[in-house]
Amino acid sequence: MIDKINALLAEIENLTATNSEETELLRIRFFSKKGEITALMNDFRNVPAEDKRAVGVKINELKESAQQKLNALKMSLDNDAPADDGIDLTRTSYPFRVGTRHPLSIVRKKICDIFARLGFCIAEGQEIEDDWHVFSSLNFAEDHPARDMQDTFFVQHGADMLLRTHTSSVQTRVMEETQPPVRIICPGRVYRNEAVSYRAHCFFHQVEALYVDKDVSFADLKQTLLYFAREMFGRDTDIRLRPSFFPFTEPSAEMDISCNLCGGKGCPFCKHTGWVEILGCGMVDPNVLENCGIDSNIYSGFALGMGVERITNLTYQVKDLRLFSENDVRFLRQFESAS
């Protein structure tokens, strides 16, 4: 019997287990009711009295070393297992928050889509422009105040390069390259040297539209404006045109829409007039066509330009312009459901 116990002790020395099922099998083999140790205890009865003490000691030694081995195997398996860092892999995930589109992008897209339905294509120019494309080609007189340092950011002192103050510069860029018919919509960022406040910013966004072809008339402009206003602000919107002045259009006008908050009845938003101004427009001045190499005896055109911030303001009643560029997610998330 002692021999058998010694053989088991030697075996225990070399036991290994690679997972918890194997250690469990070893536990069953040694410690279960039908296991090795119980069998030895049962045989103990037949051991002659004078050997009982020695065999008893041996059986205890076996029990102890089997238990120690099992403990050691379990411990090493636990250390190999990934640490329990409190992650519950069965838990359903947190809702995944995707980013939102910026309100200015939403409105810019809506404006461009409306004009796209009338056959206008997107055209883009550059933000750093020269004097010719921003001013001279567009009929701005040499002493026009818009050229002043107080309005315009010049890129280099004394140089001709500047940050465009309006997207009308894209008109020239396109007309210089393309003969009519030209039907373009030009979204873009513009810069003016303004003190930043809730109602003015040193950069903002505009959308310009230009249509040049044979026989384009003021009636075409007016109908395009009416279509745009109703698509943008709703079927019941009315428009009115007021005479105005821009160097690059003759005649020029500013367009108001019936106040979309009070429906034209008068409210604080429209200063109780029932109308809000939204854009400038007019017939392209023949000088501008000629400056771009287009024969003004054959072709005529209309142009219009609007501020995206202004339209966004009317759509979402955002009172403070600075919100658009501060990237505060609490503001931006409010447009999550807008398309």
Site residues, ligand DAH (CB under 6 A):
166, 168, 208, 246, 249, 280-282, 303-305
Q: Which is nearer to ligand DAH, 167 or 260 (CB)?
A: 167
Q: What does R_g of the chain's alpha carbons equal in angstroms? A: 42
Closest CB 129 distance from ligand DAH, rounded Å = 13
Q: Which is nearer to ligand DAH, 249 or 312 (CB)?
A: 249
Kindly give, in sequence order, each residue whose CB lies less than 8 Å from that of residue 293, ignoring residues fewer than 6 positions away.
Answer: 175, 176
Q: Which is nearer to ligand DAH, 30 or 248 (CB)?
A: 248
Q: Which is nearer to ligand DAH, 103 or 305 (CB)?
A: 305
Q: Which is nearer to ligand DAH, 12 or 278 (CB)?
A: 278
Closest CB 279 distance from ligand DAH, rounded Å = 7
Please give the sequence-ordered ranges of beta strands (E in DSSP) within the chain, or none if there are none: 121-122, 128-130, 161-163, 182-191, 203-213, 239-246, 249-258, 275-284, 300-307
Question: Which string of DSSP letters, residue by residue, matches 120-151?
Answer: -EE----SEEEHHHHTGGGT--TT-GGGSTTT
Closest CB 319 distance from ligand DAH, rounded Å = 21
State how far the Cα of 175 lies from the Cα of 187, in Å rounded to an integer: 16
Closest CB 300 distance from ligand DAH, rounded Å = 13
Q: Which is nearer to ligand DAH, 58 or 166 (CB)?
A: 166
Closest CB 302 distance from ligand DAH, rounded Å = 7
State how far the Cα of 72 lies from the Cα of 68, in Å rounded to an integer: 6
* Residue type for position 301: G
Exposure pattern of 78-94 as b/e (b: 16+ CB <10 Å)? Answer: eeeeeeeeeeeeeeeee
Exposure pattern of 174-199 as b/e (b: 16+ CB <10 Å)? Answer: bbeeeebebbbbbbbebbbeeeeeee
Closest CB 269 distance from ligand DAH, rounded Å = 22
Closest CB 140 distance from ligand DAH, rounded Å = 10
Q: Which residue is nearest to ligand DAH (CB)?
A: 305
* Residue type for position 63: K
Q: Which is nearer to ligand DAH, 139 or 237 (CB)?
A: 139
Residue with tokens 């309100």: 103
Kindly give, in sequence order, each residue whose CB lies less than 8 Å from that of residue 179, ignoring residues fewer than 6 positions away.
Answer: 294
